[in-house]
A and B are shown apart, each in its own frame.
Chain A
Amino acid sequence: MILAFTLIWTVLTAPAFNDAASVMEKHRQATSVQDLSGQLTYTNISKSGRKQTRTLQQHILRTGEGAYTYNLLLEFISPQDVAGTSTLTVQHEGKDDEQWLYLPALRMSKRISPSKKSDRFMGTEITYEDLSGYLSEPLDDYEYTLLGEETVNGRPAHKIEAIPKQGLRTQYGKRQLWIDKATHLMAQTRFFDQKGELLKTYEATEIRPIGTSGHYRAHRIKMENIQTGNTTVVQYSGFAINEGVDAAMFSTTWMETR
C-alpha cells in the first residue's frame, strides 16, 4: 500500500520538478550571449522621491573560462562631468571577480576589491548577486519548484520558487520567479530575506526582440526595495547581441588610453 502510494506520488510530482528545471534551463539559455552592447540609463529614486539619473554604455563579452562567465565594461556617458568614468569586471569560474575603476580626472585605473554578493551595484538597488543572476541564473545553487502559471503584465508566465541549497551564502532566503513563457526571460521576481520577509521586487517590461539575433530583452526593469522604500529604474536602448565586441576593450590599458 505504502509502496503504491509512494509510486503514485512520485509519478504525479516528478513532472513538476522536471518542468521547473526545464523552464530554468531555457531561461539560462535565453539570457546567455557571446557578447552584448547597449546603453542604459538608471535612475535611483529614494523613499522620499529624490532621484539621481546616470547614463552608461555597457559592453559584455563571454570569457574563455566557461559558458556563463563574462567580462563587463561600464562607462559613464552622462552627466558630462563624470563621462569616461569606467568600471571593468572580470568574472572567474569559482573565484572572486576582479574589478578595476578608472577616473578620468586621475588618468589612471585602480584595482578595487571584489564586491560582496550583497553589495549594491553602482549604488543601485541591484546587488552584485542580482547582477550575476541577471547575466546567468546559477542553476546549481538553487532548488526550483514550479508553482503554476500566472499572467504578468499581460504575458503568461511560469511561477517558480527558488530555494537556495544548503550552505549557499546568499542574502535571500527565497525567490519567487515569473519566467515569461514566450521569451523565457525573467518577467518578475520577488526576493525574500533570510527571515522570510519580502525584501525586493523586480519587474521587467517592454520585452522586445533584439535585431536578428533571435534574443529578446526587457528594455525597462524596475527593482524596488520594499524594506527601505528605494527604487531603481533602468531603461535600456541600442541593444546589440552577438554582433562582436572587441576583446581588447576589457583591459585597464583600454580604459586609460582611449
Chain B
Amino acid sequence: MHFFNPLLRLSYTRPKTTLLALLAITLLMAGGLKQLETRNSFDGELPAVDPINQGIEAAKAVFGERSVVLIGLEAESIYTPEAAQKIIDLSNALAEVPHVMPDEIVSLSTLSNVSQRPWGLETGGFLDELPADEAAWQQLQADVAGNGMVLERLVSKDESLTVIAAALEDGFNGGTVYDAVSELAAHYAGPERIHITGAPILVEDVQRGISGDSRRFIPIAIVLIFIGFYISFRRLAGVLLPVGMVIMSIVWTMGFMGYAGLPVTVVSNALPVIMVAVASSYAIHFMNAYYRLADQHKTGPALAEATLQKIGLPILITGLTSALGSASLLIFKITSLREFGIIGAAGFLLATFICLTFLPAVCALLKPPARKAYQSAGLQGFLRALTQMAQNHRRAITAAYLLLIAAAVFFIGKVKIGDDYLRFFPKSHPGRVAAETFNERLSGVRTMDIVVDAEAYGGIKDETFFRSLNDFQDYLLGYEEVGHTYSYRDVVQHLSANLNGAADALPGSAEIAQYLMLHEMSATPGEVFALRSEDDNQARIQVFLKSSDPEVHQALYEDIQRDAARFFPEGNTPLTFGGDVMHRIALGTYIVEGKVQNIILALLIVFLSCLIIFRSLPKSLMALLPITVSLLMVFGLMGVIGIRLGISTALLTAMIVGIGVDFAVHYLVGYFRDREEMGADEAITHNSLHTGQAIAYDAASNIAGFSVLSFSGFLPVQHFGWLLALSMLLIFLNTMVLYPLMLTQKEPQMAAPEFA
C-alpha cells in the first residue's frame, strides 16, 4: 500500500485532475473496443503438441476439413415430385452457399451410384433429375433400399426423411454459413419440414444463444444489482458511483482485449457479468466504509482519505488475489480458458485501480453525507443470529459441515465431463429437434474419423489389409451408439455386389483396385479423396454416432484404441482419429486435468498471497476455508443435479475463488482490526455486523443480478447464472458461519494481526 500511496493520494488531493485523467484513459481504452474480434470456431482451442490435436491435424492434412452442415427434408414420403424436386433444388442451392465446397455435397441428387440392371450397369446419380414415370420412381426406391451406403445414412428406412450434407472449406465463417443455410431452410419449408443441424450450425446456435441471452439479461442484471445498491445505501451516490466504476471497468477491460488481440469467445463472453460482480463488490466495500465514516469527517477530501485508509488495503489485497486467482486459469491447456485467465487478471487489476482512484476522487468532490450510514435492522438481526448460532453450536455445525463435505466429495465423483452441445438447447429448439431426429431415424449427426495407415504405397488395395479393415468396421458397427460406418470398404462391397453378384465374398487385391478405379471414374474428387489418401496408403473410416454425450464418445475412443491391435498388425496402428467429436474428447480431458490443477493452483496462489499479507500460516489457511468448502459444495451439487463440467462451468472456480477470497479477506482484515480495540467475542460480533453487512450487500446484489441469467432458455447461461448466484450465497454463508465458529474456537492461539 505504501508503494501506491503517492498515486492514491492524488485522487483526493487533485480529484479533478484525477477524473480528467481517468476520462482520457477511458476514451483511449474505448478505442480498443473497435478492434475486438470474435472467435466462434473451436479450432486452435487445443495445444499444438496434444496427441489428439496432432491426430486431428494429420487426418485433416490427408483428407481435408470435414465440418459438415446437414439439411434434412422430412415429408410423408420423399418419393414425390415435389419433395424430390426440393432435394435437387436444395442441393444446387447449397453449392452457392459461401464456404460450401460445391463438389462435396452429398445427397440423393449428387451421389453417384452403380446399379445392376438386366442389360448391364446403370451409372450416374440417384436423382440427377425427376424420374419420368412410375417405373423410374420404383427403380429409384429400390436402388436406395438396396444400397447400404445410402440407406439410413442419407435416407431413413421409412422413406420420410432424407439428408443433404455439405462439407465446408477450412476456415469457414460460421455466421455466414448459418445465415445462408437458415435462409434456404425457410425458403424451402412447407409442406415438407426442413431441418438444419450439424456441428457448424450447433456451434453457431450456442454462440448466438449465449450472445443473445447475454445482451438481453446482462442489462437487467446490472439494473437489479444497482437496485440492490440503492436498497443497501439508500443514496443516489451509492448507486451512481458504483455504476460509473463498473462501466469504466468493463470498457477498460474489453478495450484491453481489443488492443491485446484477445478475441471474444464462448468463454470471454461471460466477462461483462464477471466484471459487474467483481467491480461492484469493490465498490460496495468502498461505499460501505465511506458512509460509515461520514459522520467523523467534515470535508470531502478528508472523508475520501479516511475511507481509503480504512478500506484501501483490503480492496488492494482482494484485487491482487482475485487477479492471481484468474491467472491460475493459465494452467489450462485450452486456449480460450487461458486467454480468459489473462483477461480476468487484467480486468480485476484495472477494476481495483479504478475503485481506488475514481471513487475517492468523486467522493473528494462531494460534501460528506449528513445522515449516518443506513443499517437494515432485519439484516443486522440476521447477521447477529448467524454469528451467535455459529459461536454457540460449534459442534453441531462442525458435524453438519463434515457431513455436507463428505456428501459433496461423494457427488463430485459423479460430475459428468464435457459439453453435450445438444442438451444446451431446450427440447423444442430446431437444432436439437433436427439432431435428435437424425440420431433416431438416420445414423447420427456426430462423426468420428478413423484413419488407418496401410504403410505401403497403394497398401489399402491389398486384400489382407482390406480384410482387416472389413472386420474392424464390423466390430465398430457392433457398438449400439455407432449408427453407421463408411469407408472405401463399402464402395468396394457395393460394386462387387453389383458387378459379380457376390455380396458377401471378399474381393482380391486386383478386384479392389479395379472397383476403386471404377469409383474414381464415376465419383467426384471430393467423394474419392474423402475415403482414400493420394497414395492409397491411408484409408478413412467415417463413424456416425447416434449419441452426442462426450463421455460416450470418450469410452468408444478408448475401446477402439484398446481393440485396434486385434484387427491390425503393429505397422497399421496406432490409428489416427479425427472428426468433430475428437475436439470435444480432448477438451473434456483437458477440462478435467486442468480443473484439478486450476483448483490447486488457485488455492495455492490465494494461500501464498494471504501468507504474505497476514504473515501467519493459520490465518492464511483460514482464508482458504470458505472458498474450499464452497467449491466442494458447488461441484458436489453439480454431481447431484447432473450439470456437466464443461468449458463454461470450468470458469466457476475462478469466480468462486476470486469472489470468495474477497469475502474472506474483508472479514479477516476487519476482524483483526477490531481485535486491536476489543476482545475476541466482541470483535467477532462487531465485525460480523459491520463488515458482514458489506459482504451481505455484495452477495445479495450479485445473487439478484446473476439469478436473472437463470431465466435464460439457453442451458449454459442458465447454469452459469444460477450456479454463480448459489455460489455467492454459499460463500457468504460459509464466511459468516465458519469464521465466527473458528475464531471463537481458535481465539486463544491467534497472534495479533500484522499486515504487510
Q: In whole Å, how far is A225's beta carbon from the nearest beta carbon of chain B? A: 8
- A104 to B508 CA separation, bound complex (whole angstroms): 12
Return chain A residues, CB-CB under 8 Å to B508.
105
User: Among the interface residues B169, B525, B534, which one has the most CB atoms of the partner chain A within 10 A?
Assistant: B525
Return chain B residues, CB-CB under 8 Å to A230.
103, 524-525
Q: In whole Å, how far is B522's beta carbon from the nearest beta carbon of chain A? A: 7
- A229 to B170 CA separation, bound complex (whole angstroms): 14
Q: In whole Å, how far is B465's beta carbon from the nearest beta carbon of chain A? A: 13
Q: Contact check, A81 vs B461: say whether CB atoms are below 8 A apart.
A: yes
Q: In whole Å, how far is A45's beta carbon from the nearest beta carbon of chain B? A: 8
Q: Contact check, A106 vs B499: say whether CB atoms are below 8 A apart.
A: yes
- A46 to B500 CA separation, bound complex (whole angstroms): 31
Q: Contact check, B458 vs A119: say whether CB atoms are below 8 A apart.
A: no
Q: In whole Å, how far is A200's beta carbon from the nearest beta carbon of chain B? A: 12
Q: Does B124 interact with chain A (Cβ within 8 Å)?
A: yes
Q: Contact check, B528 vs A81: say whether CB atoms are below 8 A apart.
A: no
A52 contact from B123, B513, B520, B526, Cβ within 8 A: B520
Per-residue CB contact flags for chain B residues 493-520 toward chain A (1 = under 8 Å, else 0) read 0000001100000011111011101101
Q: In whole Å, how far is B515's beta carbon from the nearest beta carbon of chain A? A: 8
Return chain B residues, CB-CB under 8 Å to A106.
499-500, 511, 514
Q: Which chain A residues in 92-120 approach chain B with CB under 8 Å?
A: 100-101, 103-106, 110-113, 115-116, 119-120
Q: Which chain B residues in 152-172 approach chain A with CB under 8 Å?
A: 169
Return chain B residues, CB-CB under 8 Å to A50.
525, 529, 533-534
A-B pairs, top 3 by smallest CB distance, nearest first, are A111-B120, A81-B513, A105-B511
Instruction: List B residues at the A interface (Cβ < 8 Å).
Output: 64, 95, 101-103, 117, 119-124, 128, 169, 458, 461, 499-500, 507-511, 513-515, 517-518, 520-526, 528-529, 533-534
10 contacts between A and B (CB under 8 A): A47-B169, A52-B534, A85-B518, A103-B499, A103-B514, A106-B500, A112-B122, A123-B521, A225-B103, A228-B526
Return chain B residues, CB-CB under 8 Å to A116.
124, 128
Return chain B residues, CB-CB under 8 Å to A46.
64, 525-526, 529
Q: Contact check, A82 vs B124: say whether CB atoms are below 8 A apart.
A: no
Q: Contact check, B517 vs A82: say whether CB atoms are below 8 A apart.
A: yes
On whether A111 and B458 interact (CB within 8 A), knowing A85-B514, A230-B103, the answer reads no
Q: Contact check, B511 vs A110: say whether CB atoms are below 8 A apart.
A: no
Q: In whole Å, how far is A59's beta carbon from the nearest beta carbon of chain B? A: 18
Q: Contact check, A105 vs B124: say whether CB atoms are below 8 A apart.
A: no
Please tell me the size bucket of the interface on A. Answer: 35 or more
- A119 to B112 CA separation, bound complex (whole angstroms): 10
Q: Which chain A residues in 225-247 approach chain B with CB under 8 Å?
A: 225, 227-230
Q: Contact check, B513 vs A228: say whether CB atoms are below 8 A apart.
A: no
Return chain A residues, CB-CB under 8 Å to B525.
44, 46, 50, 52, 123, 230
- A27 to B416 CA separation, bound complex (whole angstroms): 72
Return chain B residues, CB-CB under 8 Å to A54.
517
Q: Does A139 interact with chain B (Cβ within 8 Å)?
A: no
User: Among the interface residues B120, B128, B169, B514, which one has the most CB atoms of the partner chain A within 10 A?
Assistant: B514
Q: Contact check, B101 vs A123: say whether CB atoms are below 8 A apart.
A: no
On whether A113 and B518 interact (CB within 8 A), knowing A44-B525, A123-B523, the answer reads no
- A47 to B529 CA separation, bound complex (whole angstroms): 11
- A225 to B103 CA separation, bound complex (whole angstroms): 10
- A50 to B517 CA separation, bound complex (whole angstroms): 16
Q: Contact check, B514 vs A113: say whether CB atoms are below 8 A apart.
A: no
Q: Does A155 interact with chain B (Cβ within 8 Å)?
A: no
Nearest chain A residue, comparing its CB with the CB of B457: A79
- A82 to B102 CA separation, bound complex (whole angstroms): 29
- A111 to B121 CA separation, bound complex (whole angstroms): 6
- A111 to B116 CA separation, bound complex (whole angstroms): 10
Return chain B residues, CB-CB under 8 Å to A172.
none
B124 contact from A51, A76, A111, A119, Cβ within 8 A: A119
Return chain B residues, CB-CB under 8 Å to A52.
520, 525, 528, 534
User: Among the interface residues A51, A111, A113, A227, which one has the most CB atoms of the partner chain B within 10 A?
Assistant: A113
Q: Contact check, B121 vs A112: say whether CB atoms are below 8 A apart.
A: yes
Q: Contact check, B526 vs A81: say whether CB atoms are below 8 A apart.
A: no
Q: Does A210 interact with chain B (Cβ within 8 Å)?
A: no
Nearest chain A residue, comparing its CB with the CB of B104: A228
Return chain A residues, CB-CB under 8 Å to B511.
103, 105-106
Nearest chain A residue, comparing its CB with the CB of B128: A116
A76 contact from B95, B117, B517, Cβ within 8 A: B517
Q: In whole Å, how far is B560's beta carbon from the nearest beta carbon of chain A? A: 26
Q: In whole Å, how far is A104's beta carbon from the nearest beta carbon of chain B? A: 7
On whether A227 and B102 interact (CB within 8 A), knowing A81-B509, A82-B517, A116-B128, the answer reads yes
Q: In whole Å, how far is A47's beta carbon from the nearest beta carbon of chain B? A: 7
Q: In whole Å, how far is A114's beta carbon from the nearest beta carbon of chain B? A: 9
Q: Contact check, B534 vs A51: say whether CB atoms are below 8 A apart.
A: yes
Q: Does A122 interact with chain B (Cβ within 8 Å)?
A: yes
Nearest chain A residue, comparing its CB with the CB of B519: A123
Q: Contact check, A228 vs B123: say whether CB atoms are below 8 A apart.
A: no
Nearest chain A residue, comparing its CB with the CB of B507: A105
On whether A113 and B510 interact (CB within 8 A), knowing A52-B534, A106-B500, A123-B525, the answer reads no
Q: Contact check, B510 vs A105: say whether CB atoms are below 8 A apart.
A: yes
Q: Contact check, B524 vs A82: say whether CB atoms are below 8 A apart.
A: no
Return chain A residues, CB-CB under 8 Å to B515.
103
- A134 to B295 CA separation, bound complex (whole angstroms): 99
Q: In whole Å, how far is B752's beta carbon from the nearest beta carbon of chain A? A: 72
Return chain B residues, CB-CB under 8 Å to A44.
525
Q: In whole Å, how far is B132's beta carbon from the nearest beta carbon of chain A? A: 14
Q: Contact check, A82 vs B121: say whether CB atoms are below 8 A apart.
A: no
Per-residue CB contact flags for chain A residues 22-63 toward chain B (1 = under 8 Å, else 0) read 000000000000000000000010111011101000000000
On whether A113 and B123 interact (CB within 8 A), knowing A106-B500, A123-B523, A228-B101, the answer reads yes
- A228 to B169 CA separation, bound complex (whole angstroms): 11
Return chain A residues, CB-CB under 8 Å to B522.
123
Q: In whole Å, how far is A113's beta carbon from the nearest beta carbon of chain B? A: 5
- A76 to B520 CA separation, bound complex (whole angstroms): 13
What 13 additional pairs, Cβ within 8 angstroms, besides A46-B64, A52-B528, A120-B524? A81-B510, A81-B514, A85-B514, A85-B517, A103-B514, A106-B511, A112-B120, A112-B122, A112-B123, A122-B520, A123-B520, A230-B103, A230-B524
Q: Contact check, A110 vs B458: say whether CB atoms are below 8 A apart.
A: no
Return chain A residues, CB-CB under 8 Å to B124.
113, 115-116, 119
Nearest chain A residue, comparing its CB with the CB of B498: A110
Q: Contact check, B534 vs A104: say whether CB atoms are below 8 A apart.
A: no
Nearest chain B residue, comparing its CB with the CB of A82: B517
- A230 to B514 CA separation, bound complex (whole angstroms): 23
B514 contact from A51, A82, A228, Cβ within 8 A: A82
On whether A228 and B521 interact (CB within 8 A), knowing A105-B510, A111-B119, the answer reads no
- A101 to B498 CA separation, bound complex (whole angstroms): 13
B513 contact from A79, A87, A110, A119, Cβ within 8 A: A79
Nearest chain B residue, comparing its CB with the CB of A49: B534
Nearest chain A residue, comparing its CB with the CB of B62: A50
Return chain B residues, CB-CB under 8 Å to A48.
64, 529
Q: Contact check, B121 vs A110: say whether CB atoms are below 8 A apart.
A: yes
Nearest chain A residue, comparing its CB with the CB of B534: A50
Q: Which chain A residues in 116-153 approach chain B with CB under 8 Å?
A: 116, 119-120, 122-123
Nearest chain A residue, comparing its CB with the CB of B120: A111
Return chain B residues, CB-CB under 8 Å to A104.
510, 514
Nearest chain A residue, comparing its CB with the CB of B170: A48
Return chain A residues, CB-CB under 8 Å to B101.
47, 228-229
Q: Contact check, B103 vs A228: say whether CB atoms are below 8 A apart.
A: yes
- A101 to B128 CA separation, bound complex (whole angstroms): 22
- A79 to B535 CA separation, bound complex (whole angstroms): 11
Q: In whole Å, how far is B540's beta carbon from the nearest beta carbon of chain A? A: 13
Return chain A residues, CB-CB under 8 Å to B121.
101, 110-113
Return chain A residues, CB-CB under 8 Å to B458.
79, 81
Return chain A residues, CB-CB under 8 Å to B518.
85, 101, 103
Q: In whole Å, how far is A96's beta carbon from the nearest beta carbon of chain B? A: 13
Return chain A residues, CB-CB under 8 Å to B117.
113
- A80 to B512 CA separation, bound complex (whole angstroms): 13
Nearest chain A residue, comparing its CB with the CB of B129: A116
Q: In whole Å, how far is A153's beta carbon from the nearest beta carbon of chain B? A: 26
Return chain B residues, CB-CB under 8 Å to A51.
534
